[in-house]
């Protein structure tokens, strides 16, 4: 099994606050890894370290074989990253946003034209090319942002809570696209608050106050715990973490 993303004992401190505490995980190539946890749990910080946007305090990791500390520029060229806030220019149209990002990635001419056509179709934006991004609904903005992140045909797609605040129908459509991309061999790391989304992932990890409490296949994790739902599993994990002093430890450090 080929591993696309891995990290060992990955830790990030901001002063006296330990935001991510010795996180270790592996994500197989072509799989969807759901990264779960409440706000402030360390999901975004972990993702930013893997993207090469911030430097770990300790530990190490690789993305597509590249070191997240030494090879940050190489990693950035091989991944697509979609942050919590859609990185769109609302005063530009759909096609103008795609043109802008194509220029950033150095994609021009017939290659750019073909790629934009493919992504507009993938995102279901056909007929909206001349519509201002600012006038799109949250679900349409989300799909446009995904199209922009996919322009350079990345091998890994990292999505930081892409469906937060989006209506259920748009969420389902978005996840249909995610599964299509995974079927094409793209590795996807996605953070989410939604259990129905997590259920469809190949693997999941649950992070709480910087600690990765569990990770594996959703069905196997539920079976091991003797539970039928991820909601019940995570409630159980949180209760155990509190009993073991994870919350107190994190609070003292902050």
The phi-psi region of residue 15 (left if phi > 0; otherwise alpha if psi is between -120 and 50; otherwise beta) is: left
Separation between Cα atoms, residue 143 and residue 135, nearest integer Å: 14
Separation between Cα atoms, residue 166 and residue 150, nearest integer Å: 20
- Is-contact 237 206, C-beta < 8 A? yes
Residue the block writes with tokens 């992932």:
201
Confidence at residue 243, expressed as pLDDT on a 0 to 100 scale: 86
The tally of domains found in the chain comes to: 1
pLDDT in tens, the chain (254 residues): 899 999 999 999 999 999 999 999 999 999 999 999 988 899 999 999 999 999 999 999 999 999 999 999 999 999 999 987 667 889 999 999 999 999 999 999 999 999 999 999 999 999 999 999 999 988 899 899 999 999 999 999 999 988 887 888 989 999 999 999 999 999 999 998 889 999 999 999 999 999 999 999 999 999 999 999 999 999 999 898 888 776 544 433 33
Separation between Cα atoms, residue 159 and residue 35, nearest integer Å: 10
Separation between Cα atoms, residue 98 and residue 6, nearest integer Å: 31
- Which residues make Cβ contacts (< 8 Å) with residue 118, sequence separation at least 6? none
CATH of the domain at 140: 3.40.50.300
- Is-contact 159 84, C-beta < 8 A? no
Strand partners, 172: none
Separation between Cα atoms, residue 106 and residue 77, nearest integer Å: 11
Residue 163 belongs to domain spanning: 3-253
Predicted structure pTM score? 0.90
Q: What are phi and psi of 105, to 5 degrees?
A: -85, 0
Residues 39, 43, 44, 45: is their CA dihedral positive or negative? positive
């Amino acid at each position: 099994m080929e591993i696309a993303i891995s990290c060992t004992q990955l830790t990030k401190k901001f002063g006296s606050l330990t935001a991510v505490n010795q996180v270790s995980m592996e994500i197989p190539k072509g799989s969807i890894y759901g990264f779960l946890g409440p706000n402030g749990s360390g999901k975004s910080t972990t993702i930013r370290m893997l993207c090469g946007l911030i430097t770990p305090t300790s530990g190490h990791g690789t993305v597509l074989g590249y070191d997240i500390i030494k090879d940050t520029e190489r990693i950035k060229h091989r991944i697509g990253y979609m942050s919590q806030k859609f990185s769109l220019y609302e005063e530009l149209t759909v096609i103008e946003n795609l043109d802008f990002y194509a220029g950033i990635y150095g994609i021009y001419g017939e290659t750019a034209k073909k790629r934009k056509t493919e992504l507009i179709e993938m995102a279901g934006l056909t007929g909206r090319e001349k519509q201002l991004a600012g006038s799109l609904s949250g679900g349409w903005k989300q799909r446009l942002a995904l199209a922009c992140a996919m322009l350079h045909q990345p091998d890994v797609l990292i999505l930081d809570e892409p469906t937060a605040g989006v209506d259920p129908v748009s969420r389902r459509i978005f996840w249909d696209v995610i599964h299509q991309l995974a079927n094409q061999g793209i590795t996807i790391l996605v953070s989410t608050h939604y259990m129905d989304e997590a259920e469809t992932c190949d693997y999941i990890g649950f992070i709480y106050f910087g600690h990765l409490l569990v990770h594996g296949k959703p069905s196997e994790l539920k079976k091991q715990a003797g539970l039928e739902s991820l909601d019940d599993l995570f409630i159980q994990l949180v209760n155990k973490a509190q009993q073991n002093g994870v919350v107190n430890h994190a609070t003292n450090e902050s």
